[in-house]
Structure 1
């Protein structure tokens, strides 16, 4: 396997992972530059505070460090990072729900609402949206969450993370939104 050099025009993920596992900081920096926006966008899609989003992003990168030598499908590194970030976010949210007393959770959900009528309408809309999203295939849910995060992730990064051809992301998004509209009706 050829070794990574910072001058390489487009090193493969396998080269970068191998070099990073060997302690090469330039290889690690290249991985972060290549997938950092993707990790950040998946983390942001969970609507956490900026501090929690940053912590979640760092945790995802830590998981990569811990697994540098065990990733066998290096061409699917983007998907691995997206999945890892999602799993860490879910773990964080579950832990947070266990730590916050129920009465404080209600107070937090009340923030920003004008009155009881508006809260009921907003809660109902969110409930309908969550129910409609739950009926979508996982691929649609993931794509819509990442795109809704307005992360600036490029179609190339989305393509690598989700295993979709670049040209099919827009049409897939349109089909997913159409399915979501149908479920909302």
Structure 2
């Protein structure tokens, strides 16, 4: 049986169950049901559906939805709104010495983490963080890689950096419904 046909049958078979499970779990996770559903579809379609036990698919869907909901809750606890950093308080604006010190510490921590990344990641992230504000074409020329591969490599490097920093930084306390 063709893999594409198997995946199409999975969508028809499991679509209603996935929609119902996502709609049930999304409010508690604080996410849109469609986002939760999409994350589970990606998870499901990355697997080889021919290896999956047909009788265990519904159980797998339920578990995957709950796992994605837990991930969404954890992500919401760790996320900081764009433009706000823990050290940027009204009593320590950038123009004051305290703000400059905190900003310098953040930069040193970031540069230190970037230096510990594997492979070509330190060079690439360093070029992206460069004050020269290089274009993708200039970065590709500087690093000797194709411009088309910069996006995927950057994504992998940022994912690695994110995991590295998440392991080093303590997650903030629970907020809202999670208490």
TM superposition score normalised by structure 2: 0.38
Q: Which has the higher contact order (CA 8 A, sep 6+)?
A: 1
Structure number with higher helix proportion: 1
TM superposition score normalised by structure 1: 0.37
